[in-house]
A and B are shown apart, each in its own frame.
Chain A
Amino acid sequence: MSGPRLDRQAVERAAALVSLRLPRGPHRGRTGEVRAHSVGASMELHDFRLYQPGDDVRHLDWNAAARTGELVLRVRQEEVSPRVEVVLDTSASMSVSPEKSARSREVALLLCLAAQRAGHEASLFTVGGRGRVVRGHDAGTALEALALDGKEPFPEALRRAPALRPCGLRVWVSDLLFESDVAGLARRLAQGARGLAVVQVLDEEDLEPSGGAGARLTDAESQESLERILTRGVLDDYQRRLRAHLALWDEGLRTVRATLMRVSAAQGVDALARRELVPLWEAA
């Protein structure tokens, strides 16, 4: 689909102004600056336990040993560089308009850049079509060449995608416009992640479809068709069903404590970074 291309410069400008906020709690990852879930050599006290042969005697708490007469070992938390996974829905509905296609990829790239700037290990998962995993520093190039043309529903594409790993933050970028078991899919995406955030990218035609004439409506993914005279009543019915669908997702994501951000593809990525995506950033 021709139209607006991914604007890397705008994304990089927006990324420079934000700092990705991770959920509270220990994380896993490579050695870094964030307190990990596992024991390590940081200064943060994690636990006490009795000394066992093989333990580093440098971690013995001599004060405790003097008070109790037992060799008590001071267990410290490991400081890690937590993983951030950006899961991008690449189904064909994400590219019903050039703006929606560009904005989806820009949001994903923004998240990858923000994670990298925060010293996190960013990974981009594309789900739909040929799903694959891209390292954060390759995300820009990969997203520029990425075609959003998956023809299968997201839940099925997710099953065939590379396995998600335990991570600190998982951000799912999708339009959420498909039929599925919402609660089950939310649990599945939240599983293994310290926190789940969902960025729902919707086109203007998704939110406020134009009417006035008859149209042969074709589903972007299944290619099924339906003829409708787009009268006011038909559009109102669509709006009512869209609201019910969105409410269903609100409820499903709330059960897994996920953060949902609904963005319009008509807005630029810098504007999104300043307004709709604020819950992802650390306070200034």
Chain B
Amino acid sequence: MSVGLPWGFLALAAALPIVAAYFLRRRQRPRVVSALFLWRTPSQRAQAGPRWERFSREASLALELLAVACAALFLADVRCGAQVQQRHVVAVVDGSLSMAATVNGTPLSDAVKARVAALARAQGATQLTVVESGPRPTVVAGPQAEVGRALAQLESWSPLQPAHDVAPALLMARELAGARQRVWLFTDGPLPPRVGVPPEVQVESVGQKLPNLAFVSAQRRDVGKTAQVTVRVLNASDAAREVPVRFAAPGLPPQMQTVSLRAGATAVVRVGLSAAEGATVGPVEATLPDDALPADSAVTLLPSPDAVVNVAVLEGLSPPAFAALKRFLAVAPGVRVQSPAALSFGPPASTARVRLGAGEPLKGYVGPFFQSKAHPLLEDVDLSGVVWAAGPNPPGRPLATAGEAVLVSEEDDGTVHLNVDLGRSAVARTGAWPVLLGNVLRRARFEAPGLPRRHLMLGEDVPVTTTAGATWRLEGPQGRKRPILAVGSLTLPPLEVPGRWRLLKDGEEVDALAVLPIDPRESDLRDRGPYEVKAQAEERVAGLFGERPRPWWPLLALLVLLALDFWVTAREARA
């Protein structure tokens, strides 16, 4: 049972004039009579001494009030033991970053909230579901929440998603709404042509064409006490602009650089911020002047020193191999020969992570070489022109082969076999050698627990490395948490909101990264504006006489009570 429908309350209000009329009726024209007993109808019940005699005098009023209650129950669509007649409205709100743009100081997201509230009122909704589109659509209000509660939940919504396809959100909304029920989509501009709007969906845009300045990329690299910051600025407007870019770090004077940008052009701005001796540069904030979309006009870049990898070279390597390794390790950045080591090089019979060398009989190969180019270890490794002397095939999955010979293989535990005799090969004297070792080193660096990247753009996957025996999770702004259940080098789905995210190991912070509010597709607001698509399918309306008609028993009770009231009134008149 519900009296949430306004007609039910209005019907209850009818009790007031009835009660008032009842008391008005009592104030009849006064007349003094000699014998009142001659006017009184003898009541057999009264002579028998009934207890409820007084109630019978007010029977008419009681019947009329009961009739009003029945009318209220009918209009309020009372259902005992059945589901109340509901009007469920499902709306999809575009969660992309561009919806945070402001028009005359009001964010478009606020306009969308107002439109959703107006829609709920206009449709007479009793339940409301709001879905936010994004790479992964989410329900921000509901599902099927009471309208007031859903609107309250929607109040805390802020659009910060990267550019995405709204189709998954529309699919979710249609499933939540039910078959043939209308779904409303609120966005800020025309949908891409590839997006097919289902016939039940009605699209409305609240956006406007606006000029905007934005960062479209940002990087930071810390070398010693100096932070090198590189940003790319976009002038997403129809006029050339002189754009001042401000860089600020705690404890350092801010730096300002101005770039001239043609309409729609981008430019790179690079600065170096140096800390005092023995100190490091803290988070660097790069900002642009205020514009239509404040979210993409400020980025905070965290300190990003190169991670140092401890490397060990085991005994037993051939002299050419040892020499080649020493040469590489001497110039490779972020490498320290120290125990315990995350990466070890050794002969084929050792327990090293990378086993370098070839047994007898040797055989030389000049090609053709077949490589698994998608494997990170062979990324950008070019073996053309290389003479490769290889021995018997090593164990593991082949990554590079020449004829029947396996040149590079990898075991399931990550052990890498480089089946090469550097004394008889020209590999160490080609560019392929440092690239191959660089890939090995990069993978070792990525396999260190923590976050290999400090800065991610909106919608980018998150690389993270975890170890067994501990609880790992990411904790971001607004108390958002994402547990990490797997172990090893992982790639997580994009993080939901921009800001600083902390990597926690057993509750303690071990690393952090920043998700930058950067998405060039969302920063260009020149293609936004009015847009509307009418729903093409007729909505199935479950109304007063729809598939679930209102129960008629309150109406029948109302008629019976009115008839009783008429009979009681007539009897009193006769008496």
Q: Choose among B25, B27, B40, B573 the residue that contacts A233 (Cβ–Cβ < 8 A).
A: B573
A57 beta carbon closer than 8 Å to chain B: no
A215 to B38, CA, bound (A): 15
A140 to B255, CA, bound (A): 124
| A283 smallest CB distance to B (angstroms) | 34
B573 touches A96 (CB 8 A): no
| Chain A residue, CB-CB nearest to B569 | A229
A216 touches B31 (CB 8 A): yes
A226 to B32, CA, bound (A): 10
Residue numbers in B under 8 Å from A226 (CB-CB) = 36, 39-40
| Chain B residue, CB-CB nearest to A216 | B28
A207 to B471, CA, bound (A): 103
B38 touches A242 (CB 8 A): yes
A220 touches B38 (CB 8 A): no
Residue numbers in B under 8 Å from A138 (CB-CB) = none
Q: Mark A139-181, 1 if CB is under 8 A from B, else 0.
A: 0000000000000000000000000000000000001011100
A154 to B31, CA, bound (A): 22
| B362 smallest CB distance to A (angstroms) | 125
| B490 smallest CB distance to A (angstroms) | 87
Residue numbers in A under 8 Å from B574 (CB-CB) = 231, 233-234, 237
A85 beta carbon closer than 8 Å to chain B: no
| Chain A residue, CB-CB nearest to B574 | A233
Given A227-B26, A231-B573, A234-B575, answer yes or no on A218-B38 (Cβ-Cβ < 8 Å).
Answer: no
B33 touches A96 (CB 8 A): yes
Given A214-B29, A216-B27, answer yes or no on A229-B34 (Cβ-Cβ < 8 Å).
Answer: no
A42 to B310, CA, bound (A): 165
A220 touches B32 (CB 8 A): yes
A282 to B36, CA, bound (A): 38
A206 beta carbon closer than 8 Å to chain B: yes
B35 beta carbon closer than 8 Å to chain A: yes
B478 beta carbon closer than 8 Å to chain A: no
A206 touches B34 (CB 8 A): yes
B26 touches A178 (CB 8 A): no
B38 touches A214 (CB 8 A): no
Size category, B interface = 20 to 34
B545 beta carbon closer than 8 Å to chain A: no
Residue numbers in A under 8 Å from B26 (CB-CB) = 216, 227
Q: Mark A79-123, 1 if CB is under 8 A from B, else 0.
A: 000000000000001001000000000000000000000000000
| A204 smallest CB distance to B (angstroms) | 11
B47 beta carbon closer than 8 Å to chain A: no
Given A226-B40, A237-B41, answer yes or no on A178-B35 (Cβ-Cβ < 8 Å).
Answer: yes
A224 beta carbon closer than 8 Å to chain B: yes
| A202 smallest CB distance to B (angstroms) | 8
A187 to B25, CA, bound (A): 45
| A166 smallest CB distance to B (angstroms) | 32
| A173 smallest CB distance to B (angstroms) | 14
| B169 smallest CB distance to A (angstroms) | 68
Residue numbers in A under 8 Å from B30 (CB-CB) = 215-216, 218
Given A177-B38, A179-B37, A229-B573, answer yes or no on A215-B29 (Cβ-Cβ < 8 Å).
Answer: yes
B38 touches A238 (CB 8 A): yes
| A220 smallest CB distance to B (angstroms) | 5
| Chain B residue, CB-CB nearest to A218 | B32
Given A226-B39, A227-B25, A227-B26, answer yes or no on A93-B34 (Cβ-Cβ < 8 Å).
Answer: yes
| B390 smallest CB distance to A (angstroms) | 119
A58 to B30, CA, bound (A): 73
A238 to B29, CA, bound (A): 18
A93 to B574, CA, bound (A): 26
Residue numbers in B under 8 Å from A217 (CB-CB) = 31, 33, 36, 39
Q: Mark B539-575, 1 if CB is under 8 A from A, else 0.
A: 0000000000000000000000000000000001111
Residue numbers in B under 8 Å from A220 (CB-CB) = 32-34
Given A226-B40, A234-B575, A237-B41, answer yes or no on A216-B35 (Cβ-Cβ < 8 Å).
Answer: no
A64 to B34, CA, bound (A): 64
Most chain A C-beta atoms within 10 Å of own C-beta, residue among B38, B40, B572: B38
A196 to B13, CA, bound (A): 65
Question: Using a CB-CB cutoff of 8 Å, which residues 118-150 of chain B contact chain A?
Answer: none
B29 touches A245 (CB 8 A): no
| Chain B residue, CB-CB nearest to A1 | B32
A271 beta carbon closer than 8 Å to chain B: no
Q: Mark A200-228, 1 if CB is under 8 A from B, else 0.
A: 00010110010001111111101011111
Residue numbers in A under 8 Å from B37 (CB-CB) = 179, 219
Residue numbers in A under 8 Å from B36 (CB-CB) = 217-219, 222, 224-226
Besides the contacts A96-B33, A234-B39, what 4 more A-B pairs have beta carbons closer than 8 Å? A219-B32, A222-B36, A237-B41, A245-B38
Offer 21 A-B interface pairs, CB within 8 angstroms, sorted by A. A96-B33, A175-B34, A177-B34, A177-B35, A213-B28, A214-B25, A216-B31, A217-B31, A217-B36, A217-B39, A218-B36, A219-B35, A219-B37, A220-B32, A224-B36, A226-B36, A226-B39, A233-B574, A234-B575, A237-B41, A241-B38
Residues of B within 8 A of A (CB): 25-41, 572-575
